[in-house]
Chains A and B, each alone.
Chain A
Amino acid sequence: MTTHASGDLGIHAAGLTKSYGDLRVLDGIDLAVPRGSVLALLGPNGAGKTTTVRILATLTAADSGTARVAGLDTVTERSRVRRLIALTGQFAAVDELRTGTETLHMMGRLAGLSPRAARARADELLARFGLTEAAGRTAKTYSGGMRRRLDLAASLVSRPEVLFLDEPTTGLDPRSRQDLWELVRELRTDGTTVLLTTQYLEEADRLADRVAVLADGRIAAEGTPAELKSRVAGHRLDLTLTTGAAYEALAPRAVHLAPDELTLGLPTDGTAAHVRALLDELDPDRTDIERFTLRSATLDDVFLALTGADR
């Protein structure tokens, strides 16, 4: 893990553990997120992503370990931390029966703005999030993407230094997802530290300065998206096989499986010599492999290789 003076870190966690009954959800989490950067916490369902976010956002206490957010201890300086952070959860936490303006205005009042300042901040955020036209309608009439945008806007009313986004794009259509990515990039440009959790590797790849892969309550790997990708062989040879038997025979060696298409992927360095040798080794009679494609490794491959998920 990179070393930083803790003043440069937006988020710094050391040795966080959490159990619910016998279930050990977090088993020693260390994180260091420089101020003004984006960290993606990547992991399958149940890996402990939400628990990590809730501890860092002061909503849940860890069993052991320490966490500092915006330079402050999340337990002993909880109130001060809360004034510097914002959280957008997995489900849009906006009142369906209130309008966009009403929601943002109230958030402003709760954040300590005067009525006039809260009104101005609400209008500003509505405009920035493309909700001006819908501002006077109740959120019940909004699309899923609009609700998420309103939810994110609500969390930004207080101009947080550190923003936690728990699966911010789950369930969104591609267009809304793109919009949300753009907003996160803007926040980063403004100097906000962002920790987002995601199951989507593409999302981590596109948005994050660094990625931490969470599996079974531990950080299985941490680095820039490029570093993580280079940890697996770098390329993947996808083979489409002629028979189910041939597919089954090779499946144990694969890092990518698509049984419906009788296609599987194997790691390779991408050189002609290695690809040729691999094809000869796997299919000496030249009957089993119908086609092949060579692809750059994606974070999916990293993820599967590191977490053993899906196998």
Chain B
Amino acid sequence: MLTLVIGGGASGKSEYAEELFSGLPGVKYYIATMMPYGEDGLARIEKHRQARRDRGFRTVEHYTAMDTLVLPERGAVLLECLGNLTANELFSVPATEKEAESAVLRGIEALIKQADDMVVVTNDVFSGGGNYDDETLKYIRVLGSVNRRLSERFDRVIEVVCGIPVILKG
């Protein structure tokens, strides 16, 4: 089962995504994509790490080129999150919009091959208007496009609003 979880900032999407794994048997991988950056970033990472510590996830930190990631054994995969992965592929590599999108999608496909179940968390950053610099607009376009591709590809798409799941597909 492939599940895409989307939500805005502080919507409760991460907590919800992790809850989806609570009944699952077998190995659970948590693929963290956030590059540690600054005090703020470290605090966020620590917050998320704390939240999943006792839920039996094996944390794998991988920031770009997910297609090079080989998991030790099959299992259930939680990828958190597409917003960071897309930014990494676009800006830290750096790459064109097309290249970044392909890299993200290729990475997801590679993970699907190794996963019995997969949940991908993505960000809703699309309703803050378009008054941004060119680089940010580029990012919005790539992430929006990746979200659309994955919502076609995945079995379920769930939006989280104030911690409440709203089923968009499946």
Q: Do A and B bind each other?
A: no
Residues of A within 8 A of B (CB): none
The residues of B with any CB-CB pair to A shorter than 8 Å are none
